[in-house]
Amino acid sequence: MIKIYAIAINTFKEAVRNRVLYVLLFFSIMIMFGAWIASSLSIEENTRIVRNLGIGAINFISVLIAVFVGIGLVYNDLDKKTIYTIVSKPIHRWQFLLGKYLGLLLTIAVNVLVMTWIFCSVLHLRELVTGDALTRALYPTGSDGQVAYRGSGYHLFYFVASIAKALVFGFINIVSLGFDGMVVTQGLFAASVLTILEMAVITGFAVLFSSFSSPTLSAFMTVIVFVIGRLNQDLYLFATAMADRAGGVEFLSGGQVVSYYFAVGAAHVCPNLSIFDQRAAIASMQPVMVGPLEVAYGGVYTLLVLFVAIVVFNRRNFK
């Protein structure tokens, strides 16, 4: 166990020293502030836009990290032959692969939580520096009912204090595991846990593909699995609708049969990632729950993918 832990921690260290990670994090922050600006252009439902875009950014950046940072981490060990000195140590190959996977997952989990913290802070800041809150802060009503003005110097102080306050509130959202009762960030922690579960599956595929193919091909195949996974239910509906319209599978023409079986096959082989996607509930302030189904589905699927990766990895010669 100590060996898997050592490999996982080293993988995490390697990932956090990768500049690509920080570029992606910066990019996610830009999207979150962009969402704020975009929401101010909307007449109604601006909170819905901010929440939808923000959680979408976290999800999108997480996939990019899993694909571009994750694949490089396994492939580099094979390409630069670092694996020679590791596999010759008293460890099993599966321990190496599992350590790498856990290190990657830890990297992604930390990043998702950091992005969620930033996003929660953006939402708190938005509440503090726009609308009534700002008016009340800058133009307080005295006990005599008179509206006062606190002066231009107070503006700067208020903004800086609001940023600090928003960061603290965001941090509370994370450390309280979402059980904080704050309305503005309701469901975001649960959504981030679902994203981590989804990334557990995607990272498994990234590790599987990078254990036997080049980084470009691995990245391509991982993205394909992600896209099919997200469209899983739609693909299945498309296939059944096509068959229904023709009056049954046996009445489909040649090209349609190929499309039908491709869609049904892809939907069955690739994971159904839409169960982890709760953006609609998040945007409309509905409660988001991480249920046993999501945990079990993510866990079992990940174990299966890792099992295949280990079988492949155990049989290969390292160039």
Partner 1 sequence: MAPIIQIRGLTKVYVQDFVGVEHGRLKIRFKDRRRVALENLDLDVSEGEIFGLLGPNGAGKTTTLKILMGLHFATRGTATIMGKPLGDLAVKERIGFLPENPYFYDYLTGIEFLDYYGQLYGMDKAKRRKRIPELLDKVGLTHAGELPLRGYSKGMLQRAGLAQSLLNDPQIVFLDEPQSGLDPFGRKEVRDLILSLRDAGKTVFFSSHILQDAEVICDRVAILHKGERIALGPLSEMLSAKVKEYEVTFSNAGDALQNKAKQSARRYVVQRNEYLAVFDKEDAARGLASEILAGGATLNSFVARKETLEEYFIREIEGKRRQEREGGSTANSREEARK
- Residues near partner 1 (CB under 8 A) are 2-3, 5-7, 10, 13-14, 17, 80-92, 315, 317-318
Nearer to partner 1, 16 or 163 (CB): 16
Residue number with CB closer to partner 1 (2 or 41): 2
Of the pair 214, 286, the CB lying nearest partner 1 is at 214
User: How far is the CA of 35 from the CAs of 54, 74, 75, in angstroms?
Assistant: 7, 34, 35
Instruction: Please state, in angstroms and rounded to a whole number, the distance separating the CA atoms of residues 67 and 13.
Output: 17
Q: What is the spatial distance between Cα 191 and Cα 202, in angstroms, rounded to a whole number?
A: 16
User: Any residues with CB less than 8 A from the CB of 194 and at least 6 apart, and which?
Assistant: 276, 277, 278, 288, 290, 294
Residue closer to partner 1, measured from CB, 137 or 312: 312
Considering the complex, state which of residue 89 and residue 146 has its C-beta at the smaller distance from partner 1.
Answer: 89
**To the nearest whole angstrom, how small is the minimum distance from the Cβ of residue 313 to partner 1?**
12
Q: How far is the CB of 252 from partner 1 (least distance, A)?
A: 34
**Least distance from partner 1 to the Cβ atom of residue 89, Å:** 4
Residue 223 CB, shortest distance to partner 1, in Å, is 23
Task: Kindly list the distances between the CA atom of residue 204 and the CA atoms of 11, 57, 199, 226, 288, in Å, as whole numbers in the listed order.
Answer: 15, 21, 8, 11, 25
**Which C-beta is closer to partner 1: that of 90 or that of 255?**
90
Least gap, CB of 220 to partner 1 (angstroms): 17
Least Å distance between CB 91 and partner 1?
6
